[in-house]
Amino acid sequence: MNLASPFSISLVVITALALLGLPIGLAMLCGSILYLFMAGLDMGTVAEQFLNGMYSNYVILAVPLFILAAEIMNSGSMTERLLRFCNVLVGRFRGGLAQVNIVQSIIFAGMSGSAIADAAGSGRMMQNMMTREGRYTPSYAAALTAVTAVVGPIIPPSIPLVLYALVSDASIGYLFLAGVMPGLLMSVLQMGQVAWTARRNNFPVEEAVPLREIPRITWRAFPALMMPVILLGCIYTGVTTPTEAAALAAFYALVISVGLYRSLSAKEAYNALLISTKTSASIGMLIAGSLVFNYVVTIENIPNTLRMLLIDWELTPIQFLIMVNVVLLLLGCVLEGTAILLIIVPVFVPTAQALGIDLVHFGVVVVVNIMLGLVTPPYGLLLFIMTNISGAPVKDIIRDCMPFLFWMFVCLGLITFFPEIVLWLPRMAGYGA
């Protein structure tokens, strides 16, 4: 690569601006504009790519709607009712409250689609419950909350899978189905680790919920539990598109919180809308920057060049997937996941297609890699979020994360080498038929 070429200079500018603290979306826009100027291309292309990309991709609308649904859920009493229901299921076992943390992440995974929303919402409540009266150390509770929140964007609905569909043109419905088994597998491995640690460290046993209370607790949580059933049922029966289902999820959360539970005040609704708007705007700016930068990458023919290079290396599909895993895991240590998904992954997609790798399988492998980056030092965004919530030193949280990270890497290896784990449910629904 010519280090004085417009593309090289634009990369340097993007990296420098990002290191100086400019949001990566704005950094990509600045670098891309500089490239177009140096290459003598039409500067109006920036606006053209931005408008065409944002307005022609209906799927992008699902992102702010899923974020809004999660915020409404966390602002109302849905979270509290679901936690009580989870306690009925697994709270009576040794280390039961830690198991509740995992089970609630599975349930919330079917609602929010965001790891950060899960950690900041139900995760904050779990942190308080686990550390009350010294049941668990703050660092262990924070570590467990961080690693369980990772499951959220793997089990549908999933904002990262929506963004992957945006850059790969893979089916969102089948991607959602493909995430179910890997997410459940990861949760089962986490529960096994908690059970082993509970016996070893003599974790407390929570007071069993009286049998007479179980029907009442289940009934109070039932409307909230129906949310993922309605959401996914509408998608897979063809009643709604995934984007329309996201709107339905936000509307359902609002109706249940206001009309049935009567737990959402006007002020809380406004705050939920405000937080959702800010979060969506930051993601939207990142998408806008990536759309323009991906146009630059296309002009430079980078995806095709990389595809031809890897074909010349005669990599097998498994070797390619291993290489992608290593690259994404390393990038996940220093970069934010959405940036990886929108900038790096589009470069790999053509090669994956050329090697005959199923794009639905590839998408789940990519998203699991990116989710692992959220709890992998030194960047680990969830680690820093839980440090702020718990007050525990980040080094202690990282220490307590390590046993869970081992099993999460095992899960990544299994879905990489055994695609049927990922593709079984989509094929049951007719994928590839």
Cβ-contact 101, 144 below 8 angstroms: yes
45-88 pLDDT per residue, tens? 777 766 666 666 666 777 788 778 777 877 766 767 777 777 77
pTM exceeds 0.85: no
Cβ-contact 91, 85 below 8 angstroms: no
**Mean pLDDT for all residues in the chain:** 81
314: which residues sit within 8 A by CB, 6+ positions away? none
User: If pLDDT is split at 50, 70 and 90, which confidence band does 325 have?
Assistant: very high
User: If pLDDT is split at 50, 70 and 90, which confidence band does 322 have?
Assistant: very high
407: which residues sit within 8 A by CB, 6+ positions away? 186, 189, 190, 192, 193
Q: Which helix (H) or strand (E) holds 250?
A: helix 242-255
Report the C-alpha dihedral over residues 248, 179, 124, 117, rounded to 10 degrees: -50
253-305 pLDDT per residue, tens? 888 888 888 878 888 888 888 888 887 787 777 777 777 777 787 777 776 77
Cβ-contact 163, 341 below 8 angstroms: yes
**Nearest alpha carbon to residue 108 among 249, 255, 251:** 249
117-165 pLDDT per residue, tens? 666 666 667 777 778 767 788 899 889 888 988 887 888 878 888 889 8
Name the residue ranges covered by the structural domains of the chain.
Answer: 44-428
How high is the pLDDT of residue 266? 85
